[in-house]
Each structure stands twice: as structure tokens, then as C-alpha cells.
A and B are shown apart, each in its own frame.
Chain A
Amino acid sequence: MSATLQPVIGFFGSIGRLFIAALAAIGRVTVFAATTISRAVRPPYYPSRLFEQLMQIGWFSLPVVGMTAIFSGAALAQQTFTAGSRFNATSTVPAIVVLGIVRELGPVLVGLMVAGRVSSAMAAELGTMRVTEQLDALTTLRTDPYRYLIAPRLFAALIAIPLMVLVANAIGIFGGYFVAVYKLGFNAVGYLDTTRQYLTATDLQMALVKSAFFGFFIALMGCYHGFRAQGGAAGVGRATTDAVVSAFILILLSNMIITLMAFG
């Protein structure tokens, strides 16, 4: 082997190793998700844990989600107006606001905000339980951590995030309406009429499908990384970072795939 080829081979070698490591991680996550679901369908069930998680993930995230939605809707209306005024197309404001919020901004921004709040909290809590042997203690007390800890989080996120996206969509549209009517001089009745005209069931369904995926990824990444944490406080910190970063990437990636498939 000639010396000039060495760096090239090294380069492809490290790409190959990265690729294999990524495949192995996907495999582990898949096994983790499949284990949770297969255990969760058989009793014992923990409805009170599910309720607790619904409150944590859904109810207590509402202020953050509401603010995200109203600010984004308001900014979107202004941007559309400014851009549209160059082509005499300012009347597109209500349509663009409703389509932009329902199809993209609502689900994605809620997903990212909740991922920041919830994936990190889950990873930190489960990671701490792992490194302080609470998960081992749970097992010796004959309680399955997958049923008791993971399944309630996964299902709560699956239910709560789509509901929150619906709320965020409504608030986001209101944010746009507020700016359009009180700052940009739109007629209130006309604005709402146009909004209703462009708000379709298909778009709402797609928002719900997207957000169900996002919810699943948010809880899965939080639980998976927390469950695997090791190495004390530093390990819990790493798990938390990994959970948030991987949840962000999965949300943005799945959003792109679903959008490209739906409109392709």
C-alpha cells in the first residue's frame, strides 16, 4: 500500500466506523422501543403514572407552548405582509398564516419546545435513577421499569403532544390575527373568513400525525438516553444532552420526510 493512500483509507475507514456506529444505535433504540411496547400491552398497567406524565408533559408545558405559538404567529403575519407588499399581495396574509402555522410552525415549534423541556427532564430523572441504582431497586421489588417508568412516558407524550399542537395552532392563528387586525389594518371579519376557508381537515390531520411522531420521539429519546446513563453526574449530563439533541434531529428529520411525502 503506498504511503499517499493511507490518509484516504483512514478517511473512508472513519466514515465506515461512524456509519456502523449509527446503525448499531438505531438497532438499540428499536429494541428499546419494541421492548417497551411489548411489555406495556400486558398488565400490570399504571394509569396513575400515565396521568402524572400527562400533567407533566401536557399541562405544565402549556405556558411555554402558548408563548411560542403567539409570538410565531404574530411574526409570521408581519413578515408575510412585508414581503407581500412588494408584489401587491398583502391579502395572502391570513392564508399564509393559517397554512404556515398548521402545516409547519405549529407542530415543529411545539415539538422542539417540548423536546427541550421534556426529553431533558426524562433523561435526567431516569439517568439519576440509573446511576443511584433506583432502577435496580425497582427490579428487585418486582416492578418492571419498562411498564412502570417508560410506557407511561411514551404514551403520555403520544397523547399530549398532538393535543398541544391543536392548542398551539389556535393560539398561533390568533397571534397572526391580532397583528393583522390591530397593526396592519385588516378587516376582522374578512380575516377570519379567509382563515376558515384555508383551514382544511387534511392539514389538521397531517399536523396531528406529525405531532404524534414528534411526541413519540421526544419521550423515546428522553427515556432511552436516561436508561442507558452511566458514570455518575457527568454521565447523567451527557445523557441529557444526547436526549435533547437526538430528539431535535429526529423531529426535524421526520418532519421533512412527512412533508416531502405528503406534498411530493
Chain B
Amino acid sequence: MADTPKILLEGVRKAFGGNAVLDGVDLAIERGESMVIIGQSGSGKSVMLKCILGLIRPDRGAIRVDGEDLMAMSARELETARAKFGMLFQGSALFDSLPIWRNVTFALTQGRLRDSAKMRKIAAENLERVGLGSEVLDLRPSELSGGMQKRVALARAIAPRPEIIFFDEPTTGLDPIRADVINDLIVELVEELGVTALTITHDMASARKIAHRVAMLYQGRIVWSGPRDRLYDSGNPYVDQFVQGRAEGPIR
């Protein structure tokens, strides 16, 4: 089954009220691939990730992970399948009632208090990978800056060593140096641990560094996808306008 894509979306459609946010998304992500999704604010990128995670149920279409249809799964099967995924939420979504170390190890403890000493150690290791020291372990999320929260959320997503990781704007709100540390981390996860990565970003420098392939979402569909090196000569007017950040063009 070497040719089964890790993640496959076919004709995925999702409307809120009358507003079709996703209108027939087709996308295949291979095992071990790093895919970057670009697209305008509000174009449905986050909604697409939430559909794959089973947080939002699409109106139509199919979503397969390792060839298995997510939409045909029972709640319990879905919960098992979620072990494959790690997710960095756009707004971090840290649990503000728990200290940092319990946030980072949440996927391992499922919220129960067990092996505190071991869990603190695991939390410290994962925080180190995102450039945070062990002095934050006992703080609450509200005591951290936005960029630090984002990095804690990243540590939480990678802590259980998932096969697939979704990064929703991992470098937004970080200074350029921190952002590059995160880029390096994503590259390392993909190249060394064989993780399949799906990253949403508005940061073109980050896209060029981490992506194997780039896809652009526009008006509910993938209008272009291609290797990273073609991003700046895609020949697609939407992509051109987007990556060059021009106000004039087919997108308005």
C-alpha cells in the first residue's frame, strides 16, 4: 500500500448557513511529506484542518487517513484514530486551568494525575525543543506572552510523537529568530522522525523553508498545488498575486 496517501480529501464541502466555506476540496498528502497550505484570511484553511480532525463534520465528500474513511467511523474509532494526530491550534488553545507542564503532557495523561516526576521531565524535554526553559513548568498559560503560549502549544502537539502534525500558523506572533527555530523544528520532525506535516501559514519565508509542496485554497477549492520551488513561478495568477502580496489581481 505504498501508494496510499497518508491523508486524502475528496470533494470536501462545508457550508455555514448559506456560506460554502469549503466547496469541493481535493487534496492528497503523502506519507512523510510536508505540505503547506496558503490562502487568504477567512478562506477556510482552519475549517479544513478541523474537518480532517473530525471536529467539524463536512456536508459532503470523503476524508481518508491511511486509506480509512474517517466519516464512516464510530465515535470510539475516531478517538483511536486521533492518536495519529497532533494539532497546534491557531489561538494556542492551552488549558488555562492547568500549569504548563500538565498542558504539555496532556496527551499522555489524558488529564489524570499520574507519574508527576516523569511527566515534568517529559514536559521539560519538549519545552526545550521549542526553546523554552524549565522555569515555565509551573506557570499558568495566562502568565506567558502570546509567543510563548504558541510555543507551549507546539510542545503539547509534539509531545506524544504523533505521525501526523497540523500546524495552524506556527510562526504568527513570533519574532523572526524564534520563528526560524520553529521552522527548523518542523523540518527536523519531518526529515528525522518521518512525520507527515500539514502547515497553514501566511509567512512565505517559513513556507519556503519547511514545505515540500504548497497548495493554495481559494473560494473553497484547491486552485493550485505544486512543489515549493514552483511557488514563485507557478504560472497561476492567484498564487502569483498572493505570494507577491499585490492588491491588484484576480483576487479581491
Are A134's CB and B93's CB within 8 A? yes
- Return A120 CB to nearest CB of chain B, in Å: 17
Are A142's CB and B83's CB within 8 A? yes
Are B113's CB and A140's CB within 8 A? no
Docked pose: A140 CA to B168 CA in angstroms:
14
- Interface 0/1 of A131-150, CB less than 8 Å to B: 01110111111111000100
Determine the main DSSP class of A at the interface with B: helix
Are B55's CB and A44's CB within 8 A? no
Q: Assuming the A-B contacts A142-B82, A142-B83, are A137 and B110 also in contact, with contact meaning beta carbons closer than 8 angstroms in the complex?
A: no
Are A132's CB and B93's CB within 8 A? yes
Interface residue A238 (Cβ < 8 Å from any Cβ of B): no
Are B111's CB and A137's CB within 8 A? no
Interface size bracket, B side: 20 to 34
Are A134's CB and B112's CB within 8 A? no
Q: Assuming the A-B contacts A136-B93, A137-B89, A140-B55, are A48 and B112 also in contact, with contact meaning beta carbons closer than 8 angstroms in the complex?
A: yes
- Return A112 CB to nearest CB of chain B, in Å: 27
Interface residue A117 (Cβ < 8 Å from any Cβ of B): no
Docked pose: A128 CA to B82 CA in angstroms:
24
Interface residue B66 (Cβ < 8 Å from any Cβ of A): no
Docked pose: A140 CA to B89 CA in angstroms:
10
Interface residue B249 (Cβ < 8 Å from any Cβ of A): no
Are A143's CB and B91's CB within 8 A? no
- Return A229 CB to nearest CB of chain B, in Å: 15
- Interface 0/1 of B74-114, CB less than 8 Å to A: 00000100110111011101111100000000110011110
Contacts of B93 in A (CB 8 A): 132-134, 136-137
Docked pose: A142 CA to B107 CA in angstroms:
7
- Return B70 CB to nearest CB of chain A, in Å: 13
Are A143's CB and B55's CB within 8 A? no
Closest partner residue, chain A, to B86 (CB atom)? A140
- Return A189 CB to nearest CB of chain B, in Å: 51
Docked pose: A49 CA to B55 CA in angstroms:
24
Are B106's CB and A141's CB within 8 A? yes
- Return B206 CB to nearest CB of chain A, in Å: 22
Docked pose: A143 CA to B107 CA in angstroms:
8
Interface residue B53 (Cβ < 8 Å from any Cβ of A): yes
Closest partner residue, chain B, to A128 (CB atom)? B96
Interface residue A46 (Cβ < 8 Å from any Cβ of B): yes
- Return A235 CB to nearest CB of chain B, in Å: 15
In A101-153, the 8 Å CB interface with B consists of 125, 128-129, 132-134, 136-144, 148
24 A-B contact pairs sorted by A residue (CB < 8 Å): A46-B112, A48-B112, A48-B113, A125-B97, A129-B95, A132-B91, A132-B93, A132-B96, A133-B89, A134-B93, A134-B96, A139-B53, A139-B54, A140-B55, A140-B85, A140-B86, A141-B106, A141-B110, A142-B79, A142-B82, A142-B83, A142-B107, A143-B110, A148-B111
Query: A132-B91, A143-B111 are known contacts; what are 12 more A-B pairs with Cβ within 8 Å?
Result: A44-B112, A48-B113, A125-B97, A128-B96, A132-B93, A134-B95, A136-B53, A137-B95, A139-B82, A141-B107, A142-B83, A144-B79
